[in-house]
């Protein structure tokens, strides 16, 4: 079993004048290669801060973060940028698509940035966008798409360079229920097929049906970890409805 991500007692404090806000309070988690994990918790519980630190976009006040062989805190700013570009894929609430590039070009951009653009890469971009239901939209500009479609382009962009770790902050926020299930299932399939790892922050607990583990934060702290398929199913509210499809450990 390979550990893809390990955080050790990660603390993030913000100083607001006299007041110290503890956004993340000594959180230690471990995620294995091939694991897709949901990060849940009330608004303000530190989920986005946690993801931003794992992405190397924000430094912890204390504690360390290891991704594969690297410890983020030991890398220079330039090394961290390079590392993020190659090893991490992320999609945040604000999707940041480049407005003057087409859907396909936005996805290919991640390959160009890594010097990995090729015919095979382009085929892969088209395949990924097709799996996400955007086959007819490849040559449109982001402004010609709905919010939900833009969000799916952003998801394709997070996955195109085969990152070791995919981070998604509320990837289904602007999708309708059917589309949300489809997108999260595709997300889970891609992570499992390629033995990558993924963390998805979500408010919609129903989306937890596709994950291997649920990590719940409350007030910046790690509150609860749910690992058994049976408990995850119950948490996702599908216990009765999906019982036939779920394999139980016990």
**Closest approach of Cβ 86 to ligand ADP, in Å?**
25
Residues in the interface with Mg ion (CB under 5 A) total 1
Site string for ligand ADP, 13-32 (x = CB under 6 A): -x-x----x-x---------
Residues 6+ positions from 153 with CB-CB distance below 8 Å = 95, 97, 103, 106, 107, 129, 132, 134, 142, 145
**Closest approach of Cβ 113 to ligand ADP, in Å?**
27
Candidate segments 40-48, 62-70, 127-135, 192-200, binder of ligand ADP by CB under 6 A: 40-48
**Closest approach of Cβ 184 to Mg ion, in Å?**
17
- Residues 249/228, Cβ–Cβ less than 8 Å: yes
Among Mg ion, ligand ADP, none, the one that 45 touches (CB under a kind-dependent 5 to 8 A) is: ligand ADP
| Sheet of 3-16, strand order | 19-32, 3-16, 62-67, 70-71
Residues in the interface with ligand ADP (CB under 6 A) total 12
Is residue 48 at the binding interface for Mg ion, with CB under 5 A as the rule?
Answer: yes
- Choice from 5, 10, 29, 45 touching ligand ADP (CB under 6 A): 45
- Dist CA 215 CA 40 (whole Å): 6
- Choice from 43, 99, 249, 250 touching ligand ADP (CB under 6 A): 43
Is residue 100 at the binding interface for ligand ADP, with CB under 6 A as the rule?
Answer: no
**Closest approach of Cβ 49 to ligand ADP, in Å?**
3
- Choice from 38, 46, 151, 207 touching ligand ADP (CB under 6 A): 46
Is residue 55 at the binding interface for ligand ADP, with CB under 6 A as the rule?
Answer: no
Candidate segments 43-51, 122-130, 142-150, 189-197, binder of ligand ADP by CB under 6 A: 43-51
Q: Of 12 and 157, which has the nearer Cβ to ligand ADP?
A: 12
Residues 198-227 that bind ligand ADP (CB under 6 A): none
Residues 6+ positions from 79 with CB-CB distance below 8 Å = none
Is residue 47 at the binding interface for ligand ADP, with CB under 6 A as the rule?
Answer: yes
Residues in touch with Mg ion (CB under 5 A): 48
Residues in touch with ligand ADP (CB under 6 A): 14, 16, 21, 23, 41, 43-49
């Amino acid at each position: 079993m390979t550990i893809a991500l390990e955080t050790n007692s990660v603390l993030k404090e913000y100083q607001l004048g006299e007041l110290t806000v503890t956004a993340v309070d000594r959180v230690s988690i471990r995620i294995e290669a091939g694991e897709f994990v949901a990060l849940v918790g009330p608004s303000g519980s530190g989920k986005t801060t946690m993801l931003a630190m794992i992405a190397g976009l924000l430094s912890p006040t204390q504690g360390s973060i290891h991704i594969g062989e690297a410890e983020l805190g030991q890398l220079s700013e330039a090394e961290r940028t390079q590392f993020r570009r190659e090893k991490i894929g992320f999609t945040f609430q604000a999707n940041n698509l480049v407005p003057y590039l087409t859907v396909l070009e936005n996805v290919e951009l991640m390959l160009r940035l890594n010097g990995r653009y090729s015919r095979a890469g382009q085929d892969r971009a088209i395949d990924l966008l097709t799996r996400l239901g955007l086959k007819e939209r490849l040559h449109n500009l982001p402004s010609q798409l709905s919010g939900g479609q833009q969000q799916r382009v952003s998801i394709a962009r997070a996955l195109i360079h085969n990152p070791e770790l995919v981070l998604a902050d509320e990837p289904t926020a602007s999708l309708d229920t059917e589309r949300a299930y489809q997108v999260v299932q595709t997300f889970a399939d891609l992570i499992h097929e390629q033995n990558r790892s993924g963390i998805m922050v979500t408010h919609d607990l129903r989306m937890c049906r596709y994950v291997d583990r649920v990590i719940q934060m409350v007030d910046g702290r790690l509150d609860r970890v749910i690992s058994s398929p049976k408990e995850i199913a119950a948490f996702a509210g599908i216990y009765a409805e999906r019982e036939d499809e779920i394999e139980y450990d016990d």
